[in-house]
Amino acid sequence: MSAGLVILAVVAIAIVGFFVGRTKALSAAGGDIRQLHSLPSYYGQAVFLFTAVPALLVTFAWLLIQPMLIEGRISDMIQPSDIDEGSSLELVMADVRRISNGLDTAVVAGAMTEPDIQTVTTENTDVRAVLAGVGVAVASDIKPNVLAASIEYRAKTKSARGYMAIVAVALALAGFAFALSLTKPEYRARNVSETAIKSLLILSSFVAILTTIGIITSLIFETSNFFRMYPAKDFFFNLTWNPQFTGGSDLGIIPLLWGTLYVSFVALVFAVPIGLFVAIYLSEYASSKVRSIVKPAVEVLAGIPTIVYGLFALITVGPLLRDYFAQPLGLGQSSSSVLTAGLVMGIMLIPFVSSLSDDVINAVPQAMRDGSYGLGATQSETVKQVILPAALPGIVGAILLAASRAIGETMIVVMGAGAAAKLSLNPFEAMTTITVKIVSQLTGDTEFASPETLVAFALGLSLFVITLGLNVLALYIVRKYREQYE
């Protein structure tokens, strides 16, 4: 029984419990709701919660723990001779899971039957043809232990899912019966419902924290697996990026890091001054009518899909820079370049800088402006010496947001900057970034068990550390140099 059907069964039992609990509460009060401590719906909600919550929690915990336990036992069936040179146990277990899933798909599609699976052997070449027929690619020679492990993995998974269904439904029925036994006129069902809602709100408030912890944990775990297969020294100091899934890869991050920082720098050099000038004009100089037109028009840029920006870079900006600058100056022949991606990305970042900076500048108290004018300062002097220092933390935050957006951008770089990993100062040459290579390494039906795939997590963790460092540096600068006001 699949996990989805188990969850549906538990929810169905809980819904029935809601109506049964509500009806029983009314019946116990003789139809007079004034005899009840809580409204009838609260009694139904209490039965629903006691029925669904424990069963669903156990189901989700089961789904998390089950694969680890089964793989721990199945991996003992794999002998050292089953692991080819250059491979690993993780790669072999990935094949085990793939074959197991393929056998399930073949049974559902009618290409095989359960008796066929129990009697299949590697000498029977039909198994590979059947798996290929359902879209599962396997090695040309499936070793006996690998096939046996796949069959055992499938059997244990199927049995564990059956036990999970029994336990979940039993818990749901037990919770159903327990909640009904509590359903009496004096039972404080409303407190149960409100406590559940409060717990849900508290859990929701922790979603961002738990998500961040989960992301960092997964990155660290997979990165550690990568560094067990590939030397950390070569990753951080190798000047070549040349992944080869057949072996002998050069996975140096430096060319990708250089491309990321170079494109982001060009984008920020273009976006920050323009965005800041737009914000100052709209907040300090523009009339209400002009502001009502210009501000929404600038913010429209933030709503344009990045693929549209990428097409704009590919079709318009790239050829323009190539024909009028790169070729006449002898600096390049390609329309894909750092400058192409940086300029288009800078256009995309303008509303991030201008909108947030505008809001921050408008938040500066009017009394500070009036005091500056009272001391004889001009409007430009007031902007430079009073408003901007007061708004500096928010402006730095806007620039950081724009920088993070630039560092994490992918589509514009793919279409505007190309995919060449190289070290060069020429802005008219094609380069690539970390995010582009993360996508390219994880594209297709891949397992997270080879250095060429796991390098994506090392790249992601490196990008995370860089962004975190920029934020810490910006926080230090803001605290050290911002003006203090009473």
Q: What is the pLDDT of residues 131-151, one digit of tens each?
A: 665 566 665 567 778 778 888
For residues 31 and 384, give the distance between their C-alpha atoms in angstroms, rounded to a whole number: 73
Max Cα–Cα distance, the chain, nearest Å: 95
Q: What is the pLDDT of residues 206-243, one digit of tens each?
A: 888 888 899 999 999 989 989 988 889 999 999 999 88
Residue at token pair 């050829």: 319
The pLDDT confidence band at residue 481, using thresholds 50, 70 and 90, is: low
pLDDT of residue 164: 92
For residue 109, pLDDT over 80 is answered with no
pLDDT of residue 320: 94
Task: Give the lowest-confidence range in 109-113, 260-264, 274-278.
Answer: 109-113
Tell me if 309 sits within 8 A of 412, measured CB to CB.
Answer: yes
DSSP result, 174-189: HHHHHHHHH--TT--H
Q: Which of 270, 321, 271 is nearest to 428 (CA)?
A: 321
Task: Give the lowest-confidence range in 249-253, 317-321, 421-425, 469-473.
Answer: 469-473
The pLDDT confidence band at residue 485, using thresholds 50, 70 and 90, is: low
For residue 55, pLDDT over 80 is answered with yes
What value does the mean pLDDT take over residues 372-393?
91
Task: Give the lowest-confidence range in 119-128, 235-244, 422-431.
Answer: 119-128
Tell me if 328 sits within 8 A of 292, measured CB to CB.
Answer: no
CA atoms within 13 A on the CB side of 221: 8
The pLDDT confidence band at residue 175, using thresholds 50, 70 and 90, is: very high
Give the rounded distance of the alpha carbon of 142 from its chain centre. Answer: 35
Q: Which of 7, 17, 5, 4 is nearest to 55 (CA)?
A: 7
For residues 49 and 11, give the distance between their C-alpha atoms in angstroms, rounded to a whole number: 10
pLDDT of residue 139: 58
What value does the mean pLDDT take over residues 90-117?
74
pLDDT of residue 125: 47
CA atoms within 13 A on the CB side of 132: 8
The pLDDT confidence band at residue 122, using thresholds 50, 70 and 90, is: very low
Q: Which of 264, 271, 327, 337 is nearest to 301 (CA)?
A: 271
Collect all residues with Cβ–Cβ distance below 8 Å to 133 and sequence separation of at least 6: 106, 111
Q: Which two tokens stand for residue 346?
A: 């800078």
Q: Pick the more confident residue, 30 or 16.
A: 16
143: left (phi over 0), alpha (psi -120 to 50) or beta: beta
What value does the mean pLDDT take over residues 23-46?
88
Q: Which two tokens stand for residue 96?
A: 């085990």
Residues above pLDDT 70, as percent of the chain: 89
pLDDT of residue 126: 60
For residues 236 and 450, give the distance between their C-alpha atoms in angstroms, rounded to a whole number: 18
**Cα angle at 457 between 345 and 206, to 5 degrees?**
85
Amino acid letter for position 176: F
The average confidence (pLDDT) of the chain is 86
Residues above pLDDT 90, as percent of the chain: 45
For residue 62, pLDDT over 60 is answered with yes
For residues 54 and 167, give the distance between their C-alpha atoms in angstroms, rounded to a whole number: 11
Instruction: Provide the 3-class DSSP secondary structure of residue 241.
Output: strand
pLDDT of residue 136: 64
Q: Which two tokens stand for residue 458?
A: 């090392």
pLDDT of residue 152: 84
Residue at token pair 């029935």: 16
For residue 89, pLDDT over 90 is answered with no
What value does the mean pLDDT take over residues 432-437?
92
